[in-house]
């Protein structure tokens, strides 16, 4: 068991990627302590510690790298997606972008039709937030709204 920890120590000196270093330290600790203690120390579940330990046993250092996941390739080319993302991110505070506007813009620029649900996924992936305006009475006065905000704001 000490030869394994020595080998891990030697590998730790070479690895610069912080994610892989943390996984390697987790594996190293799992040879010395119970999995649940290691998980508590690294703030994760013990199943994750066991997962990385088994991957390290079977594949060595390469097992600690995240594998590429399979899935359907995007209909948009990366350059198109980046261009659309840049345009949508430069938002107009007063108007903003609705999901329908983004959908139409993607259709116009990329020639791809997505569902509104997928547009929400894309905008989340692009780091955009969905903003809903607060409901307010159609008959409220502007002065009343300002007075209310002054009382309720704490910053």
Q: Do 105 and 119 meet the contact criterion of CB atoms below 8 Å apart?
A: no
- Nearest CA to 12 out of 55, 51, 64, 66 is that of 64
What is the predicted pLDDT for the residue at 91?
A: 64
What is the predicted pLDDT for the residue at 72?
A: 86
Helices (H), 42-98: 46-59, 78-89
Burial of 51 (0-12, 13-18, 19+ CB in 10 A): middle
What is the predicted pLDDT for the residue at 54?
A: 95
The whole-angstrom distance between residue 145's C-alpha and the CA centroid of its chain comes to: 37
What average pLDDT does the chain have? 85
Exposure b/e, 106-139, CB count within 10 A at least 16 = b: beeebebebeeeebbebbeeeebeeeeeeeeeee
Q: What are φ and ψ of residue 7, in 5° steps? A: -65, -40
User: Which residue stretches of the chain have pLDDT < 70?
Assistant: 1, 91-95, 131-139, 150-155
């Amino acid at each position: 068991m000490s030869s394994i920890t020595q080998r891990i120590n030697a590998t730790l000196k070479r690895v610069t990627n912080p994610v892989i270093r943390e996984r390697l330290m987790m594996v190293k600790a799992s040879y010395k302590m119970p999995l649940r203690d290691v998980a508590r120390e690294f703030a994760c579940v013990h199943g994750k510690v066991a997962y990385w330990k088994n991957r390290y046993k079977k594949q060595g250092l390469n097992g600690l790298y995240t594998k590429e996941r399979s899935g359907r390739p995007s209909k948009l080319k990366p350059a198109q997606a980046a261009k659309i993302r840049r345009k949508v991110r430069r938002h107009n505070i007063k108007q903003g972008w609705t999901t329908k506007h983004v959908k139409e813009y993607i259709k116009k620029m990329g020639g791809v039709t997505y569902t509104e649900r997928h547009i929400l996924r894309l905008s989340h992936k692009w780091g955009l937030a969905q903003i809903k305006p607060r409901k307010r009475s159609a008959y409220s006065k502007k002065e009343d709204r300002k007075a209310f905000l002054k009382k309720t704001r704490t910053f």
